[in-house]
Amino acid sequence: MTADIEQTLVDTAWPYWECEGEIARRFFAGATDEDHVFYLRAQLWKELNPVDGYFNGLHRELKELADRFPEIDKSIDRHDYHFLLMQLTQEFNHYVLLADIFEHLVGRRIAPEDTVQLPEERKLGELRRSYVEGGDELTRAAVGFTEGGGARLFREGAKLSGSAVNDMTAKAMQIIYDDEKDHYAEQAKVCVGLISSDEDIAHMTDAIRAISMQRVCMRAEMFREAMTPAEIDAFIGENARS
């Protein structure tokens, strides 16, 4: 039963995750240096500012974790604390890797104004916050499950080759993919533990679809409309799992 529920959650998100990957694949196939700069500005903002009700930006998360140091093996288990440290280190390393590519492309040091939050990313953040702050345990779990979009962007980016920027991108995205590829599976276990009825499954899958669709809109904007809305709808429909 647990495996069936977990598979239902994965099947619900699958076409949206694969659509994120297809958007990235089409974009990278013909991307110019200027195109790379455009998406990197948006992705770098995401890496530094994962604000959604769970995460509050790397700076605040680091500060809060440092403040909790005296609580180790009191109110927080040392293994949990170590996991949080590792997670934050990985997230910052993702920013470092992508910022190095940005600097290679623009030929100068990165500046704070180089990162930008695009409108569809803002909508995604607002949607996720609404589920975390105004929802329930099931919708909050759906936010965790959909975080990262199944790492499909990084899976596709890791396949690039043929130029200096492609080689740099492939190396960076392979590292990010290896860090994030199993996140959804870990979160799925949390989701399954909260589900006790068919109504719970329907409630959670509705949230998964809504968040995942907005993620696709975010990727389409970031990757300069590599797929049209009509193409996106068709792709999701064709890849839906019954």
The whole-number mean pLDDT for each consecutive block of 10 residues of the chain, a chain of 242 residues, reads 88 98 98 98 89 62 90 95 90 95 98 95 93 92 92 97 97 96 90 95 97 98 98 97 74
Domain 2-239 fold is Heme Oxygenase; Chain A (1.20.910)
pLDDT, residue 1, reads 64
pTM of full prediction above 0.95: no
- CA dist 241 and 11 (Å) reads 5
Structure tokens at 165: 């920027």
CA 23, 28, 32, 33 torsion: positive or negative?
positive
Q: What is the DSSP string of 86-121?
A: HHHHHHHHHHHHHHHHHHHHHTS---GGG----HHH
> Can you give the residue ranges of every domain in the chain?
2-239
pLDDT, residue 49, reads 81
pLDDT, residue 164, reads 96
pLDDT, residue 70, reads 96
